[in-house]
Amino acid sequence: MFQHLFNPSVQHTLDLIGIFVFAISGSLLAVRKNFDVFGIAVLAEITALGGGLLRDIIIGAVPPAAFTDLGYFTTPLVAALLVFFLHPEVERIQVGVNVFDAAGLGLFCVTGTVKAYDYGLGLTASAALGLATAVGGGVLRDVLANEVPSLLRWDRDLYAVPAMVGATMVVLCIRYDALTPLTSGLAVVTAFVLRLFAMRYHWRAPRAWHRRSTVREEESS
């Protein structure tokens, strides 16, 4: 019902851009962890496609889009090769990569929510899967790299919250019959801008009230 809010060719291009920058982040972590070329490729694929795979399996959209569109599967491999040979140069443009990553976050939280709703899920479940689409790959990346997922760390700038806001805007628009290309685009932009502000001003989620923890605090590098 809502899957064709955007022009299909434009949607496909945006998906590939989002997949590419997510794969770049996975590849860079693999390099920092001293993984070999196979490990770099695996982390690139998992980061880029993990959230969408999780969503598609849950909603029964099988085979998942990652395996029916060759572009979705090969784009992370291109990113992995780029980082394998040029990772010092890619590291130097990390700020630019982060901006595109924020754009991918905004896009995927919206498209993931819409697709879940089109497959019959309720509004709350659709929003949850929209969030999973946007951040699931990053969680899987960190787990495979033996890291505490950035999503769960207090010393990381807000990442899930912007995606939650974007997904919530979508389900509210569906609820009040106001979901259009314009309102969907507004949800994408809102999540994108919130993520940019979070990176710029280091916004973080609050920790437990009157917290008394003996765990050593690790400041972000």
207 or 54: whose pLDDT is higher? 54
One-letter amino acid at 7 equals N
Whether 80 contacts 41, CB under 8 Å: yes
Give residue-wise pLDDT tens across range 125-157. Answer: 999 999 999 999 999 999 999 999 988 888 899
Q: What is the pTM of this model?
A: 0.90
Mean pLDDT confidence for 100-116? 93
Collect contacts of 123-127 with beta carbons under 8 A, ≥24 apart.
123/171, 123/174, 123/175, 124/171, 126/167, 126/170, 126/171, 126/174, 127/164, 127/167, 127/168, 127/170, 127/171
Quickly state the pLDDT bin for 5 (edges 50, 70, 90).
low
Sign of CA dihedral 146, 152, 156, 160: positive
Q: How far is the C-alpha of 125 from the C-alpha of 168, rounded, in Å?
A: 11
Give residue-wise pLDDT tens across range 12-48. Answer: 888 999 999 999 999 999 999 999 999 999 999 999 9
